[in-house]
Amino acid sequence: MRTTRVPREIARSITANPVLPPGADETFTGYGVMGLPFASGHYLALREIPATSFAGGYRSVWHRDPAGAWRFFTTAPADLSCPRYFGAASEHAPTRCEIAVAWPTETSLRVSIDGVLDWRVEVGPTAGTRLMSSMGSLMPQWVWTSRPILAAMGRMAGPILKVGRVRLRGTVPNGQAFTVAPVLTWSVTSSTAVLDGVDLGAPGPLSEQAHLAGFWLPQRGILAAGHGHFEALDPVQHQLARAAVEGARPGA
């Protein structure tokens, strides 16, 4: 991936010139906050996916409340965005809406859903993210599709990044197998978020690490840029995404 390590420049380069990995599976490229837990029990994640092999790009925000209920917000139809793979984890129909992402500085981003979410994130490198980014940048493409190597890397990444359990391969809630390649990573150093008029408070690990089937969410905030593969959707084997409702309303 790109030689610069400035998060804003990486994000702009990926969105301006997305390059999909090779493969017959459904592939994607992009960046996002892989996950950010809050001490209040809330959890947020962002996906900025400028290109996929099966449709156009999209943005998605994931939210888990303290009771463990998930909601998905997406700019694209549910069956052409994250709910295509993760929608079965939520009792709520996905919400289709506009999601704004801005980079006010080289290391800070702001995610907004009008009337619903104002989320600000500051990121920076740590010894662990520097090590993982250096390794990720040097790895040839074939490594990122080797399931045995990804299994070993996932077990290694958890302690290095201090994020709890990490799995770079597995199965998502809708039933598809996945592999992900977080080529470059940074740590979230601070964040504030107001969702549905509620201040989510300070970041902090959950009492129990969150996961969506075999996809584990980090116990501290991580921004990552990379790519990945999902098993091609099979209507017989996999659960289909429910249609998204239009518009985002507080409390919806």
Q: What is the DSSP string of 174-185?
A: TS-EEEEEEEEE
Whole-number pLDDT of residue 2 = 45
CATH of domain 7-20+27-233: 2.40.400
Own/partner contacts of 72-79, CB < 8 Å, gap of 24 or more, are 73/97, 73/99, 73/113, 73/116, 73/117, 73/248, 74/99, 74/244, 75/99, 77/243, 77/244, 78/241, 78/242, 78/243, 78/244, 79/240, 79/241, 79/243
- Element (DSSP H or E) covering residue 52: strand 43-52
Whole-number pLDDT of residue 3 = 43
Whole-number pLDDT of residue 246 = 85
> What rounded mean pLDDT belongs to the chain?
95
Q: What's the CA angle centered on 96, arms 95 and 102, to 5 degrees?
A: 110
Whole-number pLDDT of residue 18 = 97
Whole-number pLDDT of residue 147 = 87
d(Cα 239, Cα 27) in Å, to the nearest integer?
A: 19
Amino acid letter for position 242: R
Burial class (CB in 10 A: 0-12, 13-18, 19+), 2: middle
Whole-number pLDDT of residue 249 = 54
Whole-number pLDDT of residue 213 = 98
> What's CA 236's distance to the chain center, in Å?
26
Whole-number pLDDT of residue 96 = 98
pLDDT band at 123 (very low <50, low <70, confident <90, very high): very high
Q: How many CB atoms lie within 10 A of CB 122?
A: 19
Query: What is the pTM for the complete model shown?
Result: 0.95
* pLDDT reading at 138 higher than 70: yes
Residue where the block lists tokens 């804003």:
8
| Spatial CA neighbour of 122 closest among 134, 131, 109 | 109
Whole-number pLDDT of residue 5 = 81
Residue range 70-115, pLDDT digits in tens: 999 999 999 999 999 999 999 999 999 999 999 999 999 999 999 9
Residue range 23-75, pLDDT digits in tens: 999 999 999 999 999 999 999 999 999 999 999 999 999 999 999 999 999 99
d(Cα 159, Cα 236) in Å, to the nearest integer?
A: 38
Q: Do 75 and 98 contact (CB within 8 A), yes or no?
A: yes
pLDDT band at 252 (very low <50, low <70, confident <90, very high): very low
Domain spans of the chain? 7-20+27-233
d(Cα 176, Cα 215) in Å, to the nearest integer?
A: 11
